[in-house]
Amino acid sequence: MIKKGTIIAVVIALLTALAACGKSAEPSSSSSAGGEEAKKKVIVGTDAAFAPFEYMDKGKIVGFDVDLLDAVMKEAGIDYELKNIGWDPLFAALQSKEIDMAISGITINDKRKQTYDFSIPYFESTHMIMVKENSPIKNALDLKGKVIGVQNATTGQEAVEKLLGKDNKNIKKFENTVVAIMELLNGGVDAVVTDNAVANEYVKNNPDKKIKTIADPDHFESEFYGLMFPKGSDLKPKVDEALKKLIKSGKYAEIYKKWFGTEPKVDNLLK
């Protein structure tokens, strides 16, 4: 007897193949057909390996940032498309204006502000240490002499460099945070330093992995996320205005509660 699951799988495969056919048969360009040039979609880039802010779920980019972006763009009346292009390429693509803006849990800091523009802050974050449950590491100072994993070119890397020294060979840089956490599971690193909400989300979703998080407010500062633009982008004022409206109207709080289960402290954002 053929199993029901097998039949369903075959039907899904056929449908997927059919859908793909339909797509490639379509004309590749639909502009310039009817005189008036179609309004260009704003391209937003992200690195969708940073749950709960942006991650892939059944082939779709989802997360707090994704919902917030959608609300902002609707409020501002901007047609957009979100693309998962990875963390390091994000910065280059913005600079070359290959993409128009980025949302990716990106911390607003002075160094980045020299090259990019940022929206008003939309989320407060700090760093956290992730270790195996039986690790001897208890705080940031215990990271000395240990092998630490970070995502390359993040503020997490900077926070660890501040503690251990910039060219410390014990700081292992990974392309994304998911890979860094995998190294922790494999024993390739003794700890991972990343944004607190991301560390907590991983531990919550993976109790079987026996990982715990350690906060250390004495050594990790508070920072704020913003949407990032090429310098001088005319999207910034529109996005700022929409963001402010959503924060004041309670729509921001609604999205925040959906992802974090608690009420946000919006006063810190509107300062």
Chain residues that interact with ligand ARG, rule: CB under 6 A: 47, 49-50, 54, 87, 104-107, 151, 154-155, 176-177, 195
- Smallest gap from residue 54 Cβ to ligand ARG (A): 6
Nearer to ligand ARG, 106 or 120 (CB): 106
Question: DSSP characters for 182-249?
Answer: HHHHHTS-SEEEEEHHHHHHHHHH-GGG-EEEEE-TTTS--EEE--EEETT-THHHHHHHHHHHHHHH
- Smallest gap from residue 1 Cβ to ligand ARG (A): 47
Nearer to ligand ARG, 190 or 195 (CB): 195
For the record, the structure tokens of 137 come out as: 């590491």
Q: Angle, nearest 10°, between helix axes 64-76 and 251-260?
A: 170
- Smallest gap from residue 38 Cβ to ligand ARG (A): 30
User: What sign does the dihedral 157-105-81-241 (CA atoms) show?
Assistant: negative
Q: Which residues, in sequence order, are CB contacts of 103 under 8 Å at separation 6+?
A: 44, 46, 54, 65, 66, 68, 69, 82, 227, 228
Residue 103: CB atoms within 10 A of its CB come to 27
Nearer to ligand ARG, 53 or 138 (CB): 53
Distances from the Cα of 233 to the Cα of 85, 238, 239, 252, 257, angstroms? 20, 10, 11, 23, 31
- Smallest gap from residue 33 Cβ to ligand ARG (A): 37
Distance CA 93, CA 134 (A): 41
- Smallest gap from residue 144 Cβ to ligand ARG (A): 22
Instruction: For residue 151, list its beta bridge partners.
Output: 174
- Smallest gap from residue 62 Cβ to ligand ARG (A): 13
